[in-house]
């Protein structure tokens, strides 16, 4: 490893700090990120309440983690597109729409997963 590449490496704590700053920024500025955040607390609360199985926990955690990750990527794509051009451009619109579509598909999948897991538990309450 050359001296230059070692100098450019970020200390781990700084890299983690930057990542948390990104999450914090998205939570403050993105309505959908806040919706996902609240939904994740509801899902985790329901998971504890119903004492779901370990396998069900894995599905819930992957749905939550994937949703956050995808929403962050979508937000990053929107920011980069906005940085590159302030003009209305068909490719800029397509980039934003495609990223939003990916988030929507995963959100639908997450709702299906949550419904499949929680519906039987909710039915047992009645």
pTM assigned to the model: 0.85
Is residue 108 a part of any domain in this protein? Answer: yes
> Judging by beta carbons within 10 Å of its beta carbon (0-12, 13-18, 19+), is residue 102 exposed, middle or buried?
middle
- Residue-number span of the structural domain to which 18 is assigned: 11-124
% of the chain beyond a pLDDT of 70: 94
Residue 74 maps to a domain? yes
Q: pLDDT-based confidence at 20, cuts 50/70/90?
A: very high
What are the phi and psi torsion angles at 90 (to 5°)?
A: -55, -40
Q: What is the CATH number of the domain that holds 101?
A: 1.10.287.3610
Give the active site residues.
Answer: 71
6 lies in some domain: no
Q: Known binding site: residues? A: 30, 71, 78, 87-89, 96-97
Q: Which residues make up each annotated binding site for a divalent metal cation?
A: 30, 78
pLDDT for the residue numbered 64: 98
Tell whether 5 is covered by a domain: no
Radius of gyration of the chain (CA): 19
- 96-106 tens-digit pLDDT: 999 999 999 99
Binding site membership for ATP: which residues?
30, 78, 87-89, 96-97
Q: Is residue 1 part of a domain?
A: no
DSSP calls for 36-81: HHHHHHHHHHHHHHHT--HHHHHHHHHHHHHHHHHHHHHHHHHHHH
Condensed to tens digits (0 to 9), the pLDDT of residues 23-66 reads 999 999 999 999 999 999 999 999 999 999 999 999 999 999 99
* Tokens, residue 72: 């962050």
């Amino acid at each position: 490893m050359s001296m230059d590449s070692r100098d450019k490496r970020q200390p781990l704590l700084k890299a983690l700090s930057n990542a948390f700053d990104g999450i914090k920024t998205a939570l403050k500025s993105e309505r959908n990120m806040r919706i996902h955040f609240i939904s994740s607390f509801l899902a985790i609360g329901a998971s504890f309440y119903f004492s779901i199985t370990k396998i069900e926990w894995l599905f819930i955690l992957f749905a939550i983690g994937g949703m956050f990750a995808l929403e962050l990527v979508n937000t990053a794509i929107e920011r980069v597109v906005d940085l590159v051009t302030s003009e209305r451009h068909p490719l800029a619109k397509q980039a934003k729409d495609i990223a939003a579509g990916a988030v929507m598909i995963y959100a639908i999948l997450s709702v299906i997963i949550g419904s499949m897991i929680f519906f039987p538990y909710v039915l047992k309450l009645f």
